[in-house]
A and B are shown apart, each in its own frame.
Chain A
Amino acid sequence: MLTNGKPRVRPPILLDEHVIDVVSDSGEGAQRCGQTFAAIAARSGHGIWTVEIIPAEIRPPARSIAGASGIRVRIASADVTNGGDAADLVVAFNDQVLRGRLRAKELRPGCVVLLEDKWRTDADPDVAAAYSQLHDELSADGFVVHEVPMERECRRLVDDPWRGKNMFVLGLLCRVYDLDLALAREQVAMTFAKKSAEVIATNQDLLEAGWAWADEHLDLRFSIPTTQVDEARIVVNGNTALGLGVMASGMEVCAMYPITPATSASHYLSSVFERVGGVVHQAEDEIAAATFAIGASYAGKCAVTITSGPGLSLKQEALGLAVMGEIPLVVLDVQRGGPSTGQPTKAEQGDLLSAMFGSHGDAPKVVMAAADIEDCFYSVITARKIAETYNMVVVVLTDASLATAQQAFRRPEFSTDWLAPPIDQRPVPAGARPYDWDEHTGLARRFIPGQPGGMHCLTGLAHDRDSTVAYDPDVNQEAIRMRSLRLAALQRTLRPPTVRGDQEGELLVVGWGSTRGAIAEAVERVRADGHRVGALHLRFLQPLAPGIGEHLARFDRVLAVENNWSDRLEDPMIDDENRRYGNLAWLLRARYLVDVDCWGEAKGQPLQPGVIEAAIRTRLTQRVEVPR
């Protein structure tokens, strides 16, 4: 270790948490750098959350503002439930991607900037000028800019620093945040586990070079105390958690068609599913994926189809068939920005109502939403069980912000109770009917091909208890009633959700899906100022769990916060009669007859606690009398 001649190092600044961005041109490995850094931090006992910064194109032009690719890592002493607000520290591989983050207002005032300095002396005078201009601008605006000779240092070890810089930066970050170098070396070996020993060694050398350079040249140390972890935890992203959940639920068939941002769940599942005999079938289109899964479910255990918004739209007719035939089916919808092609790589909670009501006619389905990465895993297991118990379609909503975000959570302990039982192949008792609906619950045992005596023709046409086509109007209505009753039967079994924070008071903030952590954090901030605010998060959207109405009634006002668009009353065109609400607000208003207000954004980014906090504060200061 170099000890002589290095600058005086101030004692580390003690922090509770920090938000760190690493941005580069696409392909320079910023994401791998950030993921590895997060894993090292998690192994050291930090709470972590990562958010990928994804350009829409596979190979955007180099040094472009829109091409910023990278990752945000939030590390903290305690557990982290969301990506936080703006960055406290940013590492940029060039000035243009940094400008992209600046324009997006993702950098906190006074943010520390570690910037590749090679552009200052670039042969192209325009490039050099752009670099100097941004550098001076940032310095003038109070950002703390450190120029780092990333390429020059990496060139001492590798010929092509374009592929090695990320590990140099990793070493730099490990030094700045006081993480253990030996642990970092180990994690780099795991990151490159599929590569040769030579590749691993080179990357470890780059890591150490980054560490040593920071140790020698950078008077910048942060220390975030760790919480001693006494349980095994796993670090995965939301889509991997979905894939793990599919396998752990005992489902045997996943049919899918490639679509962003859902596909990586199927990538992961494809890499492991065959080891237990499972099949990932990449169908010729979304409709085929849904109907293939329906066929597999009909003749066997419940199957799953994984998709995103446009795919959900295409599958809707098939979902209606599964509802009509009472075929269990799990649909995983990793939501993205819509409508149409919209923002494929960006986050939005736009599919709630289409998941509930998307198919034509009266097609009751179960709709649930995962609140974080851990929930992605367990939701699939729950969904499979509900689908097979109630012979229903269960849609699980996640979104692009969970798909690639990583969180550390308690390692699941596998239970064989999670698995579907083997399919029933016993003879059907004489006189049993294929849709022998229970008068009270609407439930009927399903007959599976292979069961002697159970032969019948399942049909998407209206049908009676014998599955014969219903021409009698009363028969059609009875079947509709029976399919509807099952949602009520499920609702009776759901646990009432609890309110976090104040149990009564000025404002109840209600959310669903990926916003739970950010809403909870925003609510805590305003509570710290003495406001009496609660947070209610819904896991089941259809049916809605019991007890929600009572929670709403205990607060003066209710605000639904969602990552989707709702008209704003400050817009001159908008009034109470023409305002379009957010998805959840529509539901709550219809169900509970409460004048639920709503606030949301449709910027394609995860909702940050700071913007939610601002929206809450605006509501709290508006002294509007709400009719109760």
Chain B
Amino acid sequence: MRQLAVTNALLRTHPDHYDLDDYEGGVARWCTGCGDNAILAALQRLCRDRQLPPEKTVFVSGIGCSSRFPHYMNTYGFHGLHGRPLPIAEGIKIRRPDLDVFVTTGDGDCCAIGTSHWIHALRYNPDITVVMHDNGVYGLTKNQVSPTSPRGLRTNTTPSGSPLTALNPLTVTLGVTNVSFVAQCVDWMPEVVHDIVAAAHDHQGLSFIRILQRCPEYMDGHFEPWIRDPERLLLLTHEDGLQPSPSTSSTYRNQRDHDPADLAAARVIAETTDPIPVGILYRNDDVPCYEDLRRADHRFDPEEIRAVVDEELDRFTIWPTGAAGS
């Protein structure tokens, strides 16, 4: 009977099944029509599908519209500094490989102020899922140009239009040593977003997903031509990659078979901006994870520390004359 009581107590704290609402935190305060809402729904669905224990799941974000994300999840969340979610996530993972760590970041957070962390996180390759919400504009600070803004975009800091060509996050990512998973999708294809975040989560290593996302406030109508013409999306399909449902396939008929193991082909596809490639561009399961290289799961043992500290002190010790160890 007592054992049964203990089991019951455990069951209360570890429910045997999580529903979608078990992952729902605060009410999302994004604008109506903002693509972030679709991404939130996809990630909550992923948590439910994979039955991730909320207490073992951490969403880390930077600053920006998309970085409000962790507030809307009922998991652990870390809403930190502009540009810095990646090193925070790496730090979490270095001693806690048992935690499922997600990073939600934006095009400003990741591709401007946090660029160096982006490059180096790819190289460290910790086992985290990075979702880069790319709406091509700064929203929270009210309409400034972003590195991924299209050339000519008029914003408060580029009133006569952005003079620069947009940075392509896919080619950058695919050029970094140790890159192990790169995918792209668009917020208006919820089924594909879900399938891709699921594949990303299941990948061992850093999964980088760029999600092109509508901003109804400052980029209203920007993606309309692509939404209205499914031919302007290039669906990358493969038995080891995205396998769209028949209904998706019947709408998005511009498809190409692409093996995610083929880095050279992935780089060529990444150069394409119109049509927009959607799918898994690259996956390599053989890149070691940083936390594995650094023995993240080592259990600290006070006696082991004592032994090593004593051994080290021995190296520097001057023993009194006649004492042991001299």
Contacts and interface: CB of A to CB of B under 8 A. Distances in A.
Interface in A264-280: 272, 274-277, 279
A419 B78 contact: no
Interface stretch (A58-66, A152-160, A281-289, A506-514): A281-289
A291 interface: yes
Contact of A458 (B53, B73, B79): B79
Contacts of B92: 295-296, 298-299, 449
Interface string B76-115: 1111110010011111111110110000000000000000
A107 interface: no
Interface stretch (A249-257, A336-344, A600-608): A249-257
Nearest to B91: A295
A452 B22 CA distance: 13
Nearest to A251: B300
A236 interface: yes
A248 B294 CA distance: 20
Interface residues of A, number: 74
Contact of A277 (B26, B71, B78, B299): B299
Interface stretch (A10-18, A118-126, A129-137, A225-233): A225-233
B58 interface: yes
Contact of B317 (A230, A232, A253, A416): A232
Contacts of B70: 457
Nearest to A303: B91
B309 A291 contact: no
Interface stretch (A407-415, A477-485, A516-524, A557-565): A407-415
A235 B315 CA distance: 9
A231 B308 contact: no
B22 to A, nearest CB: 10
Nearest to A428: B55
Given A231-B320, A414-B309, A455 B54 contact: yes
Nearest to B84: A291
B305 A250 contact: yes
A232 B87 contact: no
Interface in B298-321: 298-302, 304-306, 308-310, 312-313, 316-321
Nearest to B298: A277
A81 B300 CA distance: 36
Of the listed residues A230, A297, A303, A459, the one surrounded by the most CB atoms of chain B closer than 10 A to its CB is A459
Contact of B95 (A252, A414, A457): A252
B77 A458 contact: yes
B91 A253 contact: yes
A288 B58 contact: no
Contacts of A230: 320
B317 A234 contact: yes
Contacts of B55: 449-455
A231 B325 CA distance: 12
Given A294-B91, A452-B14, A416 B306 contact: yes
A449 B58 contact: yes
A301 interface: yes
A449 B120 contact: no
B90 A295 contact: yes
B158 interface: no
B220 to A, nearest CB: 27
A453 B12 CA distance: 10
A416 B302 contact: yes
Given A279-B294, A303-B91, A455-B75, A247 B58 contact: no
B88 A454 contact: no
A168 interface: no
Contacts, number: 209
B25 interface: yes
B295 interface: yes
B99 A272 contact: no
B317 A281 contact: no
A606 B88 CA distance: 37
B117 interface: yes
Nearest to A415: B306
Contacts of A287: 84, 87
A460 B56 contact: no
A259 interface: no
Contacts of B245: none
A469 B70 CA distance: 12
Contacts of A229: 318, 320-321
Given A272-B308, A291-B84, A252 B58 contact: no
Contacts of B80: 291, 294, 321, 325, 458, 460
8 contacts: A232-B319, A247-B308, A295-B94, A296-B91, A452-B13, A453-B55, A457-B25, A459-B71
Given A228-B320, A285-B116, A321-B80, 19 more contacts: A229-B320, A234-B317, A253-B94, A275-B308, A276-B304, A276-B308, A288-B117, A292-B94, A295-B78, A295-B89, A318-B84, A321-B81, A414-B305, A449-B56, A450-B55, A457-B26, A458-B76, A458-B77, A460-B63
The 10 closest A-B pairs by CB, nearest first: A295-B91, A277-B298, A457-B77, A295-B88, A296-B91, A292-B91, A284-B120, A288-B87, A459-B79, A234-B316
